[in-house]
Structure 1
Amino acid sequence: MQFLWPHYLWLLLALPLLVLLYIALLRRKKKMAVRYASLSVVKEAMGTRSAWRRHLPPLLFLLSLTAMLLASARPVAVIALPSAHQTIILAMDVSGSMRATDVEPNRLVAAQNAAKSFLGELPRHVKVGIVAFAGSAQVAQLPTTNREDLVTAIDRFQLQRATATGNAIVISLATLFPDQGIELQALQAGRERQRGFAINAERKEKKEFTPVPPGSYNSAAIIMLTDGQRTTGVDPLEAAKMAADRGVRVYTVGVGTIDGETIGFEGWSMRVRLDEETLKQIATKTDAEYFYAGTAQDLKKVYQSLSSRLTVEKKETEISALFALAAALLALGAGGLSLLWFNRIL
């Protein structure tokens, strides 16, 4: 815990002085009590039969002052708060390798089931969009709060050839920022045209877009699930930089075989390997995280973990109000007990 106004903590030095003052008053009370002739009257005055009652209200009052002084120093702590995320894009791989059965019943069905469970755990106010990608990427469902439409979009997935992970990120960004002129075709037109696009985009967005720190955009996030390495399309690391410049986190989920294997599909075969290194770099570049899911159960746990991360986040927050509330309750407790036991306030 830290304090925004730490110089106010010097006021805590007054607390030991109050304790010394309290002890001095008790001693004075003892000296005055010996003037009474009756020993029973002295014991009653000194409260020897209930000493703890005599000291408890002052102790509570002292704790109340402590909490009050700490509140004045404006304490700050990292606590869990509801997330500000309002839109989440699920970018899901539908390449032919997703029919592999190393994740039961197969990778695609396991991913679909996990995504549906994820939707069920999100708050209803959070919008979710679906981007399906293989050799190309397209929006399967625009961001919506209608969970039925999202489930329908997930169930409509059709397997295709190739894997364009970079395209998935670009299309996701274009869906989140429709007014920024993000065009996938311009990025795919070759290095020279990419340079030209960068200049044109900079001119077009000069007044609208300024790069921000990675992970600083808390209104949206992208979750990308894939089981292979990029075989076509935009460089995923360049796409990740676009996301990082806009502050959007791209959480990556790798599913399937890390070492790679040959998978047959409709009379042709292909070698597929999970490119973990690139997925980790994408997550790191955008201030997000990478998850590996080797089984259907692992995949379900990954989505559960992502749900908790995206609905609740830890933030550095001022908690002066909590200390002030504690001070008020302690003060009320001290005064109430004193009235109940001694018919006076402290």
Structure 2
Amino acid sequence: MVFLWPTFLWLLLVLPVLVLAYLAVLRRRRTAAIHYPALGLVRAALGAGPRWRRHVPPALFLAGLAALLVAGARPLAVISLPSQQQTVMLAIDVSGSMRATDVQPDRLTAAQSAAKAFIADLPRHVRVGIVAFAGSAQLAQLPTQSHADLTQAIDSFQLQRGTATGNGILLSLATLFPGAGIDISALGGRQAMPATPARPIDEAGRAPAAAAPPFKPVAPGSFPSAAIIMLTDGQRTTGVDPLEAAQWAADRGVRVYTVGVGTVAGETIGFEGWSMRVRLDEATLKAIAQRTQGEYFHAATAEDLKKVYATLSSRLAVEKKETEISALLALAGAALMVLAAALSMWWFGRVL
């Protein structure tokens, strides 16, 4: 818990004074009691019942006062709250290397199964969009809350040649920010694409602005309303530099979570008369995640992949935030003071 130090120091000074004042009052009562000739009058003054009762109301009062003083410092606590993220973009590699069988039954089938399980575990208010990338990137599904549409898009994946990881990130960004003028062709990618998707994704149905507003970079990871999850099994062979694309995401505050599927050693696969060695480029995937304040996950088996998506689902559904808890402490302090007064009235017929 974080709070203002001046108020905390004041609390440390005031509470001992109040405790000493209470002890002084008790001492004065004991001194005054000897002037009463009848023991019954002394007992009446102290109240009936166990002796410890007379200390309970003042202790509760002091605890309530301490809570109110701490509340005045406007303390902050790190607590888990429902995530504010409304849109998640899944950028999934559909290059020919995804036919490798080191992840059973093969990398693509395992990825499809895990992605569908991930979508099923997300809260209903979260929209999910899907980008499929190989030698180029295509928007397979605009962000939607319809799990049926998302499942259909995932099942329709077709393997292609090439791996343009940077294009997958940029097309995901272009979908999240339809009016930002993000253009892959302007960054040296081989795939020219419009600055906006075919249809806007605005909840209110507003069309994107004709001209992009001046762009001002923000802190990496500071955009709470969206995230990108990129799953790939190989090295970039074409398209935009993925680290340059990651910088674009970082400048917009969007976190990119990267998932490397397959073994680090790789596997040799053959298709239509050609063969190639497919390796996992962990260094680049880690750099992408680090640059955007995301996280890298390695999935060497289908079960690992499901666990990764389960972890991501829980992290996107709930997030830890610094939240001011002064109202909660003020309520607790008031409740303790009311309880102290009530017990004092019940036991002794007076308020403290």
2:222 counterpart (202, 210, 216): 216
Q: Which amino acid in structure 2 is aligned with residue 154 of structure 1?
A: I
Superposed displacement of residue 280, structure 1: 0.5
Superposed displacement of residue 226, structure 1: 0.5
Q: Kindly indicate whether the alpha-carbon contact (under 8 Å) linking 2:189 and 2:240 is maintained by their aligned counterparts in 1.
A: no
Q: Kindly indicate whether the alpha-carbon contact (under 8 Å) linking 1:30 and 1:46 is maintained by their aligned counterparts in 2.
A: no
Superposed displacement of residue 38, structure 1: 3.9
Matched, 1:116 2:116: yes
Q: Which amino acid in structure 1 is aligned with residue 332 of structure 2?
A: A
With 10-19 and 62-71 compared, the bigger mean Cα shift is at 10-19
**1:1-346 correspondence to structure 2 within 5 Å:** 1-3=1-3, 5-12=4-11, 13-39=13-39, 41-43=41-43, 45-47=45-47, 49-188=49-188, 205=212, 207-346=213-352
Q: Kindly indicate whether the alpha-carbon contact (under 8 Å) linking 2:100 and 2:267 is maintained by their aligned counterparts in 1.
A: no
Q: Which amino acid in structure 2 is aligned with residue 247 of structure 1?
A: G
Q: Which amino acid in structure 1 is aligned with residue 120 of structure 2?
A: G
Question: Equivalent residue of 1:214, what SS?
Answer: coil
Q: Kindly indicate whether the alpha-carbon contact (under 8 Å) linking 2:167 and 2:189 is maintained by their aligned counterparts in 1.
A: no
- The unaligned stretches of length 5 or more in structure 1 are 194-203
Q: Kindly indicate whether the alpha-carbon contact (under 8 Å) linking 1:170 and 1:182 is maintained by their aligned counterparts in 2.
A: yes
Q: Which amino acid in structure 1 is aligned with residue 253 of structure 2?
A: G
Q: After superposition, give the CA deviation of every residue in 1:168-187 in whole Å (9 maximum; x if it has no partner).
A: 01111111111122122333
Pair 1:168–1:251, CA change in 2 (3 A): same
**2:207 corresponds to which residue?**
none
C-alpha distance in structure 1 between counterparts of 2:24 and 2:187, whole Å: 81
Superposed displacement of residue 146, structure 1: 1.0
Q: Kindly indicate whether the alpha-carbon contact (under 8 Å) linking 1:224 and 1:253 is maintained by their aligned counterparts in 2.
A: yes
Q: Kindly indicate whether the alpha-carbon contact (under 8 Å) linking 2:93 and 2:163 is maintained by their aligned counterparts in 1.
A: yes
- Structure 1 vs Structure 2 CA RMSD: 1.9
C-alpha distance in structure 2 between counterparts of 1:98 and 1:337, whole Å: 71
Question: Equivalent residue of 1:2, what SS?
Answer: coil
C-alpha distance in structure 1 between counterparts of 2:281 and 2:218, whole Å: 28
Superposed displacement of residue 49, structure 1: 4.9
Superposed displacement of residue 256, structure 1: 0.2
Superposed displacement of residue 40, structure 1: 5.1
Q: After superposition, give the CA deviation of every residue in 1:29-88 in whole Å (9 maximum; x if it has no partner).
A: 222222333445534543585122111111010000000001111112222222221111
Question: Equivalent residue of 2:50, what SS?
Answer: helix
Give the count of matched residue pairs. 332
C-alpha distance in structure 2 between counterparts of 1:9 and 1:268, whole Å: 71
Q: After superposition, give the CA deviation of every residue in 1:96-119 in whole Å (9 maximum; x if it has no partner).
A: 222222222221121111111111
C-alpha distance in structure 2 between counterparts of 1:217 and 1:41, whole Å: 70
- The unaligned stretches of length 5 or more in structure 2 are 193-210
C-alpha distance in structure 2 between counterparts of 1:20 and 1:237, whole Å: 64
C-alpha distance in structure 2 between counterparts of 1:167 and 1:267, whole Å: 28
Q: Which amino acid in structure 2 is aligned with residue 147 of structure 1?
A: H
With 181-190 and 296-305 compared, the bigger mean Cα shift is at 181-190
* Identical columns (%): 67
With 58-67 and 331-340 compared, the bigger mean Cα shift is at 331-340
Superposed displacement of residue 333, structure 1: 1.6
Normalised to the residue count of structure 1, the TM-score between the two structures is: 0.90
Q: Which amino acid in structure 2 is aligned with residue 186 of structure 1?
A: A
With 81-90 and 265-274 compared, the bigger mean Cα shift is at 265-274
C-alpha distance in structure 1 between counterparts of 2:348 and 2:104, whole Å: 72
Q: Kindly indicate whether the alpha-carbon contact (under 8 Å) linking 2:189 and 2:239 is maintained by their aligned counterparts in 1.
A: no
Normalised to the residue count of structure 2, the TM-score between the two structures is: 0.89
